[in-house]
Amino acid sequence: MVRPSLDAAARVAVLRRLFREAHPYYGRLATGLALGIIAGVGPTAYAWALGGIENRVLAAHPPDIRFLWWIVIAMIAVAATTNAASYGQNYLTAWCGQRLVARFRVSLFERLLYLPLGSFESWRPGELISRLTNDLGLMTDAVSISLPQFIQASITFLAATAGMLYTDWLLSLVLFACAPAIVYAVGRLNALVAPSELSRRSRISRAT
C-alpha cells in the first residue's frame, strides 16, 4: 500500500534534505543554471527577428535584402548557441541527478542492512522493492529531466513576458487576464491525475 501524500511541511523538509545532499554538485548545477538561462532566452530572439523581417523586408519598398541575410546568419548563430547551451544544461543536470540518486540508493541500502528484523514486519516485501526501484526511478526522472525543462521553460516565459510588455503592454495585460482560468484548469487536471498516479504505484507495489 502506498503511503499518503506528504503535507506541506514534510515536502519542505524533503526539499531541504535534497539541497543538503546536493552540496557536492552546486558548482555543476550553477553552471547548468547559467546555460539554462542562455537556452531559455535564445528562442525569444525569433520573435524579434520575424518583426524585423516584416518591417524591413516584407513591408519595405525596396526590401532590405542585406538585413535579411544578417537575420539569417544571426538566427543560425542563435540556434547553434541555444542548442549547445541546452545540451550542456541537460548533461550537467542529468549528471548531478544520476549521482545524487546513486548516493540515495547506497544510503538507503546501508540503512536497510542495519534495520532490526522487526521493522520489516510493517512493510510488505513488494512495497519495499517498489520503493527501492520505482520511487527512486521517479526521483531520477524528476532531477534529470523535469528540473532542466522547468528551468528552461521558466526562463523562456520570463523573457517572453518582458518582450511582450515592451512591445504592447495593453495586449499583454489582456492575455494575463486569461491566466487565472488557465491556472485553474491545469490545477484541476493535476488534481484528477494525482489519485490515478497513486493508484498506479499501488498496483505496481501489489504486483511486485
DSSP codes of every residue in 89-149: HHHHHHHHHHHHHHHHHHHHHHHHHTS-GGGGGGS-HHHHHHIIIIIHHHHHHIIIIIHHH
CA-CA distance, 138 to 145, in Å (whole number)? 10
Task: For 190-201, write each residue's pLDDT tens digit.
Answer: 888 878 877 877
The three-state secondary structure class of 80 is helix
User: Does residue 73 register a pLDDT over 90?
Assistant: yes
| Contact partners, residue 172, CB within 8 Å, separation at least 6 | 161, 164, 165
For residues 146 and 181, the model is more confident at 181
**CB distance 67 to 54 below 8 Å:** no
* Mean residue pLDDT across the chain: 81
Q: For residue 127, what pLDDT is reported? A: 72
Q: For residue 7, what pLDDT is reported? A: 67
Task: For 105-131, write each residue's pLDDT tens digit.
Answer: 888 888 888 888 877 777 777 777 777
The domain segmentation of the chain, as residue ranges, is 8-207
Q: For residue 83, what pLDDT is reported? A: 92
**Long-range Cβ pairs for the range 152-155 (8 Å, 24+):** 152/36, 152/39, 152/40, 152/86, 152/89, 153/40, 154/40, 155/36, 155/37, 155/39, 155/40, 155/41
Q: For residue 81, what pLDDT is reported? A: 93
Mean predicted confidence (pLDDT) in 141-159: 77
CATH level 3 topology of 8-207? ABC transporter transmembrane region fold (1.20.1560)
Tell me what percent of the residues of the chain surpass a pLDDT of 70.
93
User: Does residue 19 register a pLDDT over 50?
Assistant: yes
Q: Which residue has the cell 498516479?
A: 197
Question: Residue 20: pLDDT band by 50, 70, 90 thresholds?
Answer: confident
Mean predicted confidence (pLDDT) in 128-147: 72
